[in-house]
Structure 1
C-alpha cells in the first residue's frame, strides 16, 4: 500500500524530511511576513451583481472619490476659537495633494449641525483613482489633520478607513488567538499524551503548517489577490487540521509499539501509516472537498477564503503524512507508551453503551434536541453585511457611524439608490413613494439629461428586512426604461440571492466527493448518507446557538462584545464548510476504526440488537479511537476559543460557533447518535450494491 510505503520511507529519511520542512518553515517565517503587505480588500459581490452595476452607473453620472468623514463635538459649534480652528484645519487639508474637496460648517456649503447642537460634520473627498497605497497615505494625513482640532470629541472615519480597521483588527485577532492558543495547546497536549515531547509534535506540525501555508499564499499573491481574511482561515484550519492529524498518528503509533515492542521504528511507522495515515489522507481530501464547495459560491470574498483554506488543507495533510512520522521516528524513545489499563471506558464508549441499550429513543431524543437548538436559526436569523457596528465598541469607526446615524441622520436608514435610464415620469415617482416601507423619495440634482438618481429612504435599518423588501419591490416594477438599484440594502439582497441560488451546486460539490471518499473507506453507501445527515444536524444546531448568543445578545457581555442584532452574512457559509469539514474528520477517524473492528470480527447473530458483534465492533472502535477524537476536539477547541479573545465580532462568531460545533459533535452526535443509528441499522450499515461491493473489494481492500 502506498501510504504504508510512505511511512517506512519517511522513517528511513527522517532527517531529510525534517530538513526540508525546517527550510520551508523558516522561509515561511521570513518571507511570509511579506504577505501582510500584499493582502487585498476583497469585495463580497461579483462585478456583474445588480447593485454593482448600479454603483458603476452612478459613478459615471455623479463621479465621487473616496471620502473621510469627521464629527467634531463637545463644544458650542459657534465658539469662535473652534470656528477658527476648524477653518484653519480645513484649509490645511485642502492643501494636501490628493484632496478634492472639503465641506464643513463654516467655510463651504454642505456642513451640518448635529441634533445636539454641539457637534458638526466635516466631509473630505479625495481624488478618484488613487492607487491604494497612495490613497491610504492621503487618508492618514487627512485623519491626522482632523485629529488636531481642539475639541472634546473628534471622531474620524469613512468607508475605506472602516475597511482598513476591519482588516487590521482581523490580523491582530488572528495573531492574539494563535499565540495564546498555541501556548495553552502545548500544555494540554503534553498532559493528554503524557509528556512534553509527545505534546510538542502536534504543535510543531501546526506551526509548520501555518508558516508554510503563509509562504504558499505569499507566492500566490504574485499571481492573484489574497484576501486579508484568508489569514484567519489559514490559522483556524491549519492549526486545527494539523493537530487533529498529528494526534491520530501519534496515538496509533503508541498502540502499534505497545502491540510489538521489538519491531523497528520504521516497521511500526509503516503499520501506523497503513491505518492512521490512510485515514488522514481520506480526511484531508474530505476537507479539501469542503473548500471546493466554498469556491462554488463564486463570490470574490468566499473564493479568496476558499483559496486560503485549500492551501491550508493541502499543507496540513502533507504535514500529517510526512513531518509527523519523521518527528516520531526521531523522538520515539521519548514518547510515552500507551497505557495498558484505564479506570474505565472512555467518554465516547460510555455514551455508546447508553445509546446501544435503547437506540430508538436515544436517536429520536438527540435528533429532536438538535432540531430544537436549530429553531432560532431556521425561524429568526437576521443575516447582514458586517459594517462598522461589528467592530469593537471602542473602535473609532464604529463610534463615528453610530454618532452620524443618531445625530445627523435622525436614526433613519441610509437611502436606497435608484438609477434610471431615462428621466422618470410622475407616475414612476409616485409608485416608488407609495411602496410599503418607503419614507420619502428625493431626486439628486445636477444629473445629466436622460438619466436620474433617486435616494429612497426606507423604514427601519439600513439593510434590515424593510429595506430589503423595498429593494425587491423596486426591482419588481416594470417601467419603460432601465432601472438599477444600489446601496447597502441592495448589496445584501444580491449576496443572499447569489448564495441561495448557488447553494445546491456547492452542496453537490461538497457532498459527492465526500460520499465517494467514505465509500472508499467503508465500502458502504449507507454510512456516507448517515454521516452527511448527522453533519447537517450539527451545523443547524450550531447556527441556532449562534443566533441566540450573537444576534439576540444572550451572554454577549460574558464573551466581551456588544451584539449588533445580526449575524454576518458570510458566517453560515463559512461554518457550513468548517463544521462539515471538521465533523467529517472525526467521522472518518471513528468509522475507520469501527470498520477495522467489524472486519476483524464479522458480525454474527441477530443484528440490530444490543450485544451483537456489530454493536461490539462499534463500542470497540469508539473505545480505541474515542480518546483520540476527544483529545483532538479539546485541542482544536482551544484554538477556536482563542479567537474569542479578539475584538472583531465576525471572528468571535466563527471561534464560538466552531467550539459549540465540536462540543455537540464529539458528545451527542458521535457519542450517542452515531452508535444508536448503527445499532438500529445493523448489517445495513455496510450495505452497497453487489457491483459496487466487488469494485470496492478489488480496488480498495485487495480482497
Structure 2
C-alpha cells in the first residue's frame, strides 16, 4: 500500500505540491489569527472539589478582578503624595466597571511598607464583567494610577498577569520559531550538502505548521485553545516534520545509490514503502502518547493533546506525501553522497557516524556498558526524589514583567502583604449550633495565620476566609486544605483557593496516571510489535524511554527547582516545577524517543530478516548495520530538534523554558546514552532472544563480537 502511495505521489507530484502550497498560504494568511482566539484554560476539570467550591462561592458572594498598585519612592506622609493619591482614588471610583478602591489615605485600610516609602492601592472591579470589559476597565485604572505623583508606580494583579502571559507566549512563539527555522535551515544545508536539499525538510515543516495553525483557527471557534498549546505544538510540528523528511531523504539516497538505473517512480515507491512505514509507525506512536493526555481529564491538557495530535497527523502527512513529491521534483539537486558533516567536502567519504562508533564500542563490552549507562541515568534521576510541583503563577513571567515586579515588590516591601486566602463554604447558618465551635476549630488548625467570617450572606450558608501561614499554595497551605476538608462540621465543607486547586490537581494527576500510562504503553508496544514482530524489543524500548524521562526530570529539578544554571538560562527559580511539565515532557519526550527507536529498529529489523538464516552473529551484525545506516539520520534529527526546542529556552516564560530544556536534555540523553550505548549493549546481551514472540522457539548461540 505504501509503495503504491509512493508511485501515486510521483505521478501526481505537481498536484501534491500545489495542494500543500495552497494550504501553507492559507495558513500563513489566516492561521495567525489563532493567537487572537486563544484563551486561558483552567487546569482543573469541572467536577474537582476546588472548582465546585469556587462556583458556589461565585454564586453566593461574587467578587471581581483585583488590581494592585505599589506606590514607591517618596515618604508616605508627604503632603503632595497624600493629595495625589486621594485625588486619583476618587477618579478611579468614577471609572465604569470599578467596584471598590482601597488605599492608605481615603479608606480605613492602611498598608505601608517597612521603610515608610511605599504604600498599596487595591482596586476591585465589578463582578460579572466580560474579559474585554474587565481589561478596558483595568487599562483605565492603570492609566489613572500612573498619574499619581510618585517616583515609581507598579501595577499588577491576576488579570494583568494573564494578559502578560498571553502576550509573552505570542512573542516567545515568534522568536522561538524564527530562530529555530533559521538555525535548523543552516544545519540542514551544511549536513545535507546543498541549498535545495537543506531547504526541503524546512518546506515540509512550514507545510505542517501552517496547516496546523489553520486547523487550530477553525477549532478555536468551537473549542477553547490555549496560547501555551499553540507555542508547544508549532515547535513540535517543526521538529517532527524535519525528522520525517530526513528519514525519507536518507532512504531515497540509499535506494538510488543501490540501484542507480532504477526509474525514479520505483525509487520513490521503495522509499515510501520502507522509510514511509517507519514514519507511519512513528507518527502513530507519538499520537498515541498524546492521546494519553486526554486520560487526565484536565481542560488544559486536553487542549494540548488536541493540538499535538493534530500537528503529528499533519507532520506525518507531509512526510508521506509532500516530501516524496519534493524529492521527485528536486532529486537531481540532492547530492548522491552520504550525509556530509560540516567542514568536510561532499566528495570525501565519511567514516562511521557517532552512533555507529558508540554502538561498536557497546557491542564489544555489552555488560559493563549496559550497567554503566543504566546507573548513570538513575543517578541523574536522583533529584526527582525531592521534587516539588506547583501551578505556575506570576513568578513564571520574565523578570521584566510589570505584573511580576509588582508581586515581588508587595512580598518584599510589606511586613504583612495581602495573601489570597483559602475560602471555606459551609452550607449552614452561622447561628446554627456547632458553627461557632467549627470556626474556633479552624482557627486552631496548624498553619492558620488568621480567619475572617463573612457577613451579609444569604440565610443557610457560612463563609470564612482562612489565611494560611507561609505561601498561599505552599506545603503548609496544602496540609491545611486536607485539615479543613476533614473537619467534623454540621454540613458539608467546601474549600476554594490556590492551595485547594493545587491539591486537587495533584490528586487528579496521581489518580489518572495509571490509565494514561496504560494507554501509552499498550499503544506504543503494539505498534512496535507490528514493526518488529517481537515482544522483547517493545518492552525494552519502553523501559529505556522511561529511564530517559526519569533522568530528564531529575535534571529539571536541579535546574529549575534548585536553580543550577539559572543565571545562564536567564530565569529566577521559584522553588518548584510547573505541575503540567512532567506530563507534557513525558508525552513529547516519550513520543520523540520512540521516533528514533522506530527509525533504528525498522532498519535493524530489515538487516535481521536478511541475515538471520545464514549468519550466527546475525543479531549483532544487524544491530550495527542498522545503526550505521540510520545513525546519521538520527543524529542530524536530534541536532535539529534540539535547535527547535532551543527556541523555548529563549522565551521569557519559565514553564516554557522547562519544556525547552527538558526536551533538549531528553534528546541528548536518548541519542547518545540510550540509542548509542544502551540499545546496542542490551541487544547484544540478549542476542536472538531479542526477536522472541509467543509461539516461536529461539536458540541463543554464542555471541560473536563485532568490530
Tell me the TM-score range normalised by the shorter chain: over 0.9
Say which of 613, 620, 629 aligns to 2:618.
613
Q: What's 1:321 paired with?
A: 320
Aligned pairs, number: 686
Offset, 1:605: 6.6
The alignment partner of 2:451 has SS state of strand
Instruction: For residue 58 of structure 1, report the CA deviation from its aligned partner.
Output: 1.9
CA displacement at 1:581 relative to structure 2: 0.5
Who is 1:353 aligned against? 360
Partner of 1:661: 666
Mapping 1:112-151, distance limit 5 Å: 112-151=111-150
Residue of structure 2 in register with 1:210 after alignment: 209
Q: Which residue of 1 aligns with 2:337?
A: 338
Q: How does 1:535-550 map to 2 (within 5 A)?
A: 535-550=545-560
C-alpha distance after superposition, 1:370-394 (max 9, x if no partner)? 11111111x1001111111111112
Helix, strand or coil at the partner of 2:483: helix
Select which of 430, 436, 440 maps to 2:450.
Answer: 440
Q: Give CA-to-partner distance per residue, 1:286-320, whole Å, 9 cap, x none.
A: 00001100111110111111111011111111111
1:409 Cα deviation after fit? 5.7
CA contact (8 A) 1:209 1:242 kept: yes
Q: Does 1:362 align with 2:361?
A: no
- How do residues 79-478 of structure 1 correspond to structure 2 at under 5 angstroms? 79-339=78-338, 342-377=349-384, 379-408=385-414, 410=416, 414-422=420-428, 423=430, 425-478=435-488
Q: Retained in 2: the 8 A contact 1:629–1:666?
A: yes
Other structure's SS at 1:436 match: coil
What is the aligned partner in structure 1 of residue 501 from structure 2? 491
Q: What is the CA–CA distance in structure 1 between the aligned matches of 2:541 and 2:584, rounded to whole Å? A: 19
SS in structure 2 of the partner of residue 456 of structure 1: strand
| 1:33 matches 2:37 | no
Q: How far apart in 2 are the matches of 1:183 and 1:245?
A: 18
Alignment partner of 1:455: what SS?
strand
- 1:42-81 deviations in whole A, cap 9, x for unaligned? 1111121111111122223322111222111111223222
Paired residues of 1:111 and 1:122 also in contact (CA < 8 A): no
CA distance in 2, matches of 1:131, 1:449: 29
Per the alignment, residue 700 of structure 1 pairs with: none
- Match 1:565 to one of 575, 578, 602: 575
SS at 1:112 equivalent: coil
CA distance in 1, matches of 2:134, 2:436: 41
In the alignment, structure 1 segments of 5+ residues that lack a partner are: 607-611, 694-703
Q: Residue 692 of structure 1: CA displacement? A: 13
Does the CA contact (< 8 Å) of 1:11 and 1:326 recur in 2?
yes
Q: Deviation of residue 659 (structure 1)?
A: 0.3
C-alpha distance in 2 between matches for 1:572 and 1:537: 14
Shift of 1:338: 2.6
Asked if 2 retains the 8 angstrom alpha-carbon contact of 1:247 and 1:632, the reply is yes
CA contact (8 A) 2:212 2:234 kept: no
CA shift at 1:87, angstroms? 2.4
Q: What residue in structure 2 maps to residue 630 of structure 1?
A: 635
Unmatched tracts of structure 2, length 5 or more: 339-346, 699-707
1:678/1:685 contact within 8 Å kept: yes
SS in 2 for 1:468: helix
Q: Residue 689 of structure 1: SS of its match in structure 2?
A: coil
Assess if the C-alpha contact under 8 Å between 1:415 and 1:487 holds in 2: yes
Taking structure 1 as the reference length, the TM-score comes to: 0.95
2:702 corresponds to which residue? none
Q: C-alpha offsets along residues 368-427 of structure 1, whole Å, 9 cap, x if unaligned?
A: 1111111111x1001111111111112111111112223346368642222222235343
Aligned to 1:698: none
Which structure 1 residue ranges, 4+ long, deviate > 6 Å from structure 2? none
CA distance in 1, matches of 2:471, 2:614: 64
Provide the alpha-carbon RMSD of the alignment: 1.8
The answer to whether the 8 A contact 2:295-2:515 is kept is yes
**Aligned-residue offset at 1:342:** 4.0
Deviation at 1:653, TM superposition (A): 0.6
Of 662, 672, 682, which residue of structure 1 is paired with 2:677? 672
Partner of 1:9: 8
Provide the C-alpha distance between the structure 2 equivalents of 1:692 and 1:238, rounded to a whole number of angstroms: 42
**Given the superposition, is the C-alpha separation of residues 208 and 150 from structure 1 closer, same or farther in structure 2, using an over 3 Å criterion?**
farther
What is the distance in 2 between the residues matched to 1:594 and 1:268?
Answer: 21
- Cα separation, 2, equivalents of 1:138 and 1:582: 45
Provide the C-alpha distance between the structure 2 equivalents of 1:211 and 1:128, rounded to a whole number of angstroms: 39
Cα distance in 2, alignment partners of residues 121 and 297 from structure 1: 40
> 1:328: how far off?
0.8
Query: Any conservation in 1 of the 2:435–2:490 contact (CA below 8 Å)?
Result: no
| Counterpart in the other structure of 2:17 | 18
Cα displacement (A) at 1:118: 1.7
Q: Secondary structure at the match of 2:222?
A: coil
Structure 1: how far apart are the matches of 2:615 and 2:206?
49
Contact 1:255 1:338 in 2 (8 A): no
**d(CA) in 2 for partners of 1:299, 1:306:** 10
Equivalent in the alignment of 1:609: none
CA shift digits 1:563-593 (9 cap, x unpaired): 1111111100100100010000000000000
Distance in 2 (alpha carbons) for counterparts of 1:370 and 1:677: 15
Where 2:227 maps in the other structure, the secondary structure is: coil
Would you say the 8 A contact 1:375–1:544 is kept in 2? yes
Q: 1:584 and 1:559 mapped to 2: Cα distance?
A: 28
Give CA deviations for 1:473-513 in whole Å, capped at 9, x if unaligned.
22222323111111111110000110110011111121111
Instruction: Calculate the TM-score normalised by the size of structure 2.
Output: 0.94
Moved more, 485-494 or 72-81: 72-81
Give 3-state SS (helix, strand or coil) of 2:74's partner: coil
Alpha-carbon distance change, 15 to 641 in structure 1, aligned in 2, over 3 angstroms: same
Q: Aligned equivalents of 2:683 and 2:639: distance in 1? A: 25
Q: SS at the partner of 1:229?
A: helix
- For residues 68-112 of structure 1, the C-alpha deviation after alignment (integer angstroms, 9 at most, x for no partner) is 221111112232222222223223222222222222222234352
1:653 alignment partner, SS class: helix
